[in-house]
Structure 1
Amino acid sequence: MKLKTLCIYLSLVLFSCNSFIQTIYDDTTAKYNAYFIANETINEIEDDLQKNLIINYDSLIELSYIIDTNQVSNIKEKNSKSVEKLSILIQTHPESKYVYPSYALIGKSRLLNLDIRQAITTLKYVNSKSNSQEAKYMSLVYLMRAYTENNDYNAAVEVYKFLKNKPLNNNLKIEYYKNAYHLFKALNIQENILNSLFELEKISKKRNLTNKIYFAIGQIYLKEENYEAAKNYFLKCIKNNPNFEMEFYAKIYYAKSSNTLKENEILAYFKKLLRDKKNVDYLDRIYFELGNYYLFNNNYDKALENFSISIKKNQRNKALLFKSYLESAEIYYDKITNYELSKLYYDSAITNINREHKSYKEIKEKSNVLSELVKNLEIIRQNDSLIYLTTLAENELLKIINEKIEKNQKKSKKKSSTLNNRNIILDESKIILSRDEIGIWYFNNPTIISRGRDEFISKWGDRELEDNWRLLSKISFSEKEQKAEQETTDNILSEIAVEENDIDIIS
């Protein structure tokens, strides 16, 4: 009997040991054969998305990657491999503790692939079925981002509140606060954005992320006009050895935050930035910020001067061109009251944005109103001039007319000479293209279009688009030249209202 009992006991011990060993084996093979590789693949995808992120320093910067439809095709293959690895793990090691974390990673992969519905379903399944707290927390952190991407902000906020005081490990806590920042940035809740940044500041170990945190906090303080705090955070960013682009913008924002400094100190700081050879590709931005500084201090002439330089130095940065033109237009409209120039700058601003831009409709309407206003102002000016001319003695009137004719003739000769010179230059240089122009479709390249237009005008003149334009326009163009040469004092006099009734009508 004792022997039988001993045998049963030994059998149970051996079975338990085998079961324990099998569990350890399942967990180890699951972790290092599939879970680890899949997790590394997902980390690579996130790193690639982060590298491809174009940071817009003119608005509150992103801390994390943007999940973009344009990039889904580039990561699809890697995503499929990670899901395949994790699916094999779940099938071959169903008792492993890595089964539900694997489901959570599958949910994240689907999120990165913008398969939002499937991602939400998978992550909710993990949260409801898993007995592992770690797997539950993982799924909820990813679920918060999935809800945000799905614009279900109420659900995302509920997940945020639930996780707020949970004991997350450091890496998961960083992802939680980055996702919270992304959520509240979309909702524009400033207090929660700042709280997320402050929490991240405490736990971030990576320099790249820390610099973004410093920069974002500085941006918020600058917007709140807390200039001293903003300046301190931008200085923290500068001292923490950020990449070149971030360092440059941190210096620009540091200057914008330095309102307590004297004017000569601010200008010296900007001059230092201009002298730095590393900033040669950012001169347009420096002059734009100088323009903003002068605008803030109501020095409109200097503001316009620097916006103009920024436009000339601009190297295909359409967003900055738009801002430079728009700021100039606003100054001419609101401050100097020069509607003609204001209209021209509004027109230039519109050419640097697309129709989907939030300001397009407003600027377009303002430009159209100004077009009508400028026309009417021109009519008024012309009528005032005509009324004035009728009050002059005949000899004074003849003197003014003759001076005008002489001036027009000089201008015509100068224009003709310029066109001839331009024709010679075009003949020599028309086949020369810069590297940037090679391979660009003709109508996508404003430089080539302008060159082509100049060449056409130099050969054919400024002609209207019509049938048989080569023949008809030659005739009309020569007729116009003859008429211009035949302009006489009598022609101009006949256009001047000298009757009293005419003056009343004009008035």
Structure 2
Amino acid sequence: MKIFFKAPLIFACSILLLISCSRKKDKFINRNFHAVTAEFNALYNGYNALEAGRNSLNDGYSDNYWDVLPIERMQISEEIVLPGQSKNENFNTAEEKAVKAIQKHSITIEGKEKNPQIDEAYLLLGKARYFDQRFVPALEAFNYILYKYPASDKINQAKIWREKTNMRLDNDELAIKNLKRLFKQEEPEGQDLADASSILAQAYLNIKSLDSAITQLEIASNTTKNDDERGRYRFIQGQLYNELGKKDSANLAFDKVIKLNRRTPRIYVISAHIEKIKNFDYEKGNKFELLELITELEENRENRPFLDKIYHQKAVYYLSNASDSLAITYFNKSLRTNSLDKILKAKNYEILGDMNFDKSLYQEAGNYYDSTMTSLVLNSKPYRIIKRKRDNLEDVIYYESIAKVNDSILNLVHLSKDERIAYFEVFIEQLKIQAGKAKEKAEAAERNKGLVTVNNTIGNQPLRTGTPTQTTMFYFYNPTTVAYGKNEFVKIWGDRVLEDNWRWSNKGNSGAEKNLSVNNILVTASEDELFDTEFYISKIPSEAKEIDSLSKDRNYAYYQLGLIYKEKFKEYELAKSKFQNLLKSNPEERLILPTKYNLYKIYELLGENSEAAITKTDIVSNYPESRYAIILTNPDSASEKDENSPESLYETLYQQYESHAYADVISKSEEYIYMFDGEPIVPKLELLKATALGRLYGLEAYRKAINHVAITYANTLEGKQAQNIEANVLPKLASSEFIQENDSITNNYKVVFTFENPKTGQVADFQKTLNEVLKKIRYYTLKSSIDVYNANTTFVIVHGLKNGQVAKTFNQLYTKEDQKKIKKSYFAITSANYQIIQIHKNLDAYLNTGITLNK
């Protein structure tokens, strides 16, 4: 009996299923079959994929709490995606499911959609494209809903998402206009109202209308059902109030975030606390309560992931209360948390750098600025600001290191033998202590055989050494041991570059320059020599020439430091100390007078009038003919444009250079370099002299002079320019091979008249006559110039010829009368070959090459 009923029942169900699968009939069973199948199959799986994609976006997105947060947590990528490709496979899956729902379950009869789930499919399609950052296709999907399904219950959502997309396409004004119309016509409620208000707030933010954005965020915060969103909206409200300078309103908004506590992400709560602390008024507020709050945040176990921010804020608190040592401690604690917030790390390093700068510890400040730049975006505005600060310290760090090293060596030079032995005995004792510690560590490392053995077994099974685990690790898998090893390496060897022969003494680049010489000696010492006082004593310079060189370098460094502290940093006490030390150190004669004059100016600035008067009398009495004495005795006549000032003399010298008086420029430059030694004008004079040497004597002389500037004045603008010339320009000038002259590839020729050891006025008279002749030549626009070849030879050159044969037969262009005036012989040459003979001074080689013109 059961079998009798079962067969017809199966048959009837099959017929019913086949009838309901049809998408061409507008029947109740057809509509609901496709609606249910679309909703609980394709759309369900599509929304799951969409949610997975959104979660992955959120996991990979990091907010920048140093700036106003965006309303929506979404990182816009600049990466170009080709058609058919997707940035996230989950969004691709969601789009495929939406398309599948539309293709397989749409029931369109007489132009009308009968399946109530298809508008949901188009909404899913648009969202998937939106989060995949394909905004134009997303806009098409949302517009299709508005066009095809005006009566849909998803119409408000479609409008909101369309305006989100418009905003992403930088159509902020259009988004604002459409959202305002939505509020007026539809009056959305609940989550739709929250979403629309938040998007409108973002559009106002984009056009910098902060007041309007705050108003919309208030609506969104009150109507959203999601506490995560509420916490974010309230926090952004507080940020915007801060932007407007309304700290009280900002603090009220942050209090609302804090009140949410565990109902919203912890980062919003902590950031709200931090922003309130930043808004604290240190003049009127209760500092004790503030410290209590920060300490409470620090001690709360839930806040461990945010200790980098809390430590930083506690350091700022101590810094504001002039507790510098505690501030330094907490800035360093913030850095040791290995924070992922690069801006926070950069601020920590920068503040520590500024603190050292204010204490005139420029070496340490420079190191902190270096670290700051590693945490900033290359060539960004903050990076350029820090780099400018660091560059300003370059010279002072360089000269301080020279002064410290040479002072240390010279102090040893002046010690008696017994004092030297006592000094190195103390030093060797310290070495032995360090060696003992190193030996203990080596023995421990040998026992551990490269492993950190917290627990060598699990149960009775030994752990494998090839795979890192929580209880035992290979050395390089453990960040603590690796960091320790790095620190030990730097202490012993300095900051060395990864390259061959890194142990060589000249490879050291340690930041502790004062220990550089000792480190180099330790590297080269044998085991017996390492603890032998005589070995170290033998390394102390003994030759007068070497000691004199050290003394000169040290004195020059003192002078440069005095100038830098006085002119660049306005650290007059430091400058005074350097200049006074210089005068006590038996300086060269050329440094004494400028040092005394700078001391006089510093005494005036510090109000030490008696010292200033003594120094002035000294200069005027002992150097009455000097420029400084003239300035001091008659200050009204002395001005920055005084004809005897370095700047004026340099300008005059440069005019002589442009007039081809290279020999005079070289001799005068040498005179001025000696006269103004130590002043900022000297590198300019050296570079001008190098250029004049090159023009007069050729490439080899130019190469040597440029190398001298690049090495001697490495930290100046002119020194860096010389380094660039040496690296990039000189290699291009190295070839002295002449170019075969051919009219098909060469169209610039010169006619050159040569004068050997000309008499005064001879060359100028010839050029005057030549110019008169050139004016009469028809069909050609020609002009002449005078150029120096070397100290004995001068050229008069005719420019403007485009044909080689015409250049060779140039005298045939003269009239018969003019041929009597211009009887001097000449040679023709291309512009390229003329450049070669001037660079390499190889005129004779050119004339002997027999280069011919090919017509």
Q: Into which bin does the TM-score normalised by the smaller protein fall?
A: 0.7 to 0.9
Separation of aligned partners in 2, 1:62 and 1:423: 53
1:202 aligns with 2:210: no
The aligned residue for residue 329 of structure 2 is: 305
Matches within 5 A, 1:174-193: 174-193=194-213
The letter of the residue matching 1:484 is Y
The aligned residue for residue 390 of structure 2 is: 367
Matches within 5 A, 1:102-141: 102-128=121-147, 130-132=149-151, 137-141=156-160
8 Å contact 1:321–1:352 — kept in the other structure?
Answer: yes
Q: Summarize the Cα distance change of 1:404–1:100 in structure 2 as closer, same or farther, 3 Å threshold.
A: same
Match of 2:101 among 62, 65, 85: 85
Of structures 1 and 2, the one with the larger relative CO (CA 8 A, separation 6+) is 1
The aligned residue for residue 11 of structure 1 is: none
1:494 aligns with 2:547: yes
Separation of aligned partners in 2, 1:224 and 1:297: 27
Following superposition, the deviation at residue 196 of structure 1 comes to: 2.2
8 Å contact 1:23–1:96 — kept in the other structure?
Answer: no
Separation of aligned partners in 1, 2:40 and 2:248: 46
Q: Summarize the Cα distance change of 1:192–1:402 in structure 2 as closer, same or farther, 3 Å threshold.
A: farther
1:72 aligns with 2:124: no
Following superposition, the deviation at residue 265 of structure 1 comes to: 0.9
Separation of aligned partners in 1, 2:246 and 2:147: 45
8 Å contact 1:67–1:114 — kept in the other structure?
Answer: no
1:324 aligns with 2:348: yes
Separation of aligned partners in 1, 2:500 and 2:411: 42
8 Å contact 2:94–2:125 — kept in the other structure?
Answer: no
The aligned residue for residue 236 of structure 2 is: 216
The aligned residue for residue 237 of structure 1 is: 257
Secondary structure of the 2:451 match is coil
Separation of aligned partners in 2, 1:166 and 1:204: 21
Separation of aligned partners in 2, 1:292 and 1:416: 40
8 Å contact 2:342–2:376 — kept in the other structure?
Answer: yes
TM-score, scaled to structure 2: 0.47
Following superposition, the deviation at residue 200 of structure 1 comes to: 0.4
The aligned residue for residue 272 of structure 2 is: 250
Separation of aligned partners in 1, 2:415 and 2:36: 100
Matches within 5 A, 1:49-60: 49=54, 52=59, 53-60=61-68
The aligned residue for residue 451 of structure 2 is: 431
Match of 1:287 among 282, 306, 311: 311
8 Å contact 2:123–2:145 — kept in the other structure?
Answer: yes
Q: Summarize the Cα distance change of 1:67–1:74 in structure 2 as closer, same or farther, 3 Å threshold.
A: farther
8 Å contact 1:217–1:233 — kept in the other structure?
Answer: yes
Separation of aligned partners in 2, 1:437 and 1:365: 47
Match of 1:478 among 516, 522, 525: 525
8 Å contact 2:106–2:115 — kept in the other structure?
Answer: no
Root mean square deviation of aligned Cα: 4.8
Larger radius of gyration, structure 1 or 2?
2
69-78 vs 237-246, which deviates more? 69-78
8 Å contact 1:39–1:82 — kept in the other structure?
Answer: yes
8 Å contact 1:101–1:135 — kept in the other structure?
Answer: yes
Following superposition, the deviation at residue 342 of structure 1 comes to: 1.7
- Residues 209-245 of structure 1: CA deviation (Å, up to 9, x unaligned): 2222222222333444433323322222222233444
Separation of aligned partners in 1, 2:197 and 2:49: 20
Gaps of 5+ in 2: 1-24, 78-85, 454-467, 507-520, 553-584, 596-855
- Residues 245-283 of structure 1: CA deviation (Å, up to 9, x unaligned): 433333333444443531111111112222323333433
The letter of the residue matching 2:239 is Q
Separation of aligned partners in 2, 1:373 and 1:264: 41
Following superposition, the deviation at residue 146 of structure 1 comes to: 1.9
Q: Summarize the Cα distance change of 1:411–1:148 in structure 2 as closer, same or farther, 3 Å threshold.
A: farther
The letter of the residue matching 1:79 is E
Following superposition, the deviation at residue 288 of structure 1 comes to: 0.8
Secondary structure of the 1:432 match is strand
Following superposition, the deviation at residue 374 of structure 1 comes to: 1.4
Secondary structure of the 2:106 match is helix
Separation of aligned partners in 1, 2:349 and 2:505: 39
The aligned residue for residue 582 of structure 2 is: none
Following superposition, the deviation at residue 31 of structure 1 comes to: 4.9
Secondary structure of the 2:372 match is helix
Matches within 5 A, 1:94-105: 94-96=112-114, 98=116, 99-100=118-119, 102-105=121-124
8 Å contact 1:101–1:138 — kept in the other structure?
Answer: no
Separation of aligned partners in 2, 1:246 and 1:89: 44
The aligned residue for residue 349 of structure 1 is: 372
The aligned residue for residue 4 of structure 1 is: none
Q: Determine what percentage of the aligned residue pairs are the same residue.
A: 19
Separation of aligned partners in 2, 1:226 and 1:33: 55
Separation of aligned partners in 2, 1:438 and 1:113: 42
Q: Summarize the Cα distance change of 1:424–1:226 in structure 2 as closer, same or farther, 3 Å threshold.
A: farther
Separation of aligned partners in 1, 2:255 and 2:65: 16
Matches within 5 A, 1:23-42: 28=32, 31-34=35-38
Q: Summarize the Cα distance change of 1:197–1:469 in structure 2 as closer, same or farther, 3 Å threshold.
A: closer
The letter of the residue matching 2:329 is E
Following superposition, the deviation at residue 109 of structure 1 comes to: 2.3
- Residues 188-223 of structure 1: CA deviation (Å, up to 9, x unaligned): 542233122112023122322222222222233344
Aligned pair count reads 481
Secondary structure of the 1:60 match is coil
38-47 vs 279-288, which deviates more? 38-47
Following superposition, the deviation at residue 300 of structure 1 comes to: 4.3
8 Å contact 1:329–1:341 — kept in the other structure?
Answer: yes
Separation of aligned partners in 2, 1:91 and 1:420: 84
Following superposition, the deviation at residue 410 of structure 1 comes to: 4.6
Following superposition, the deviation at residue 310 of structure 1 comes to: 1.8
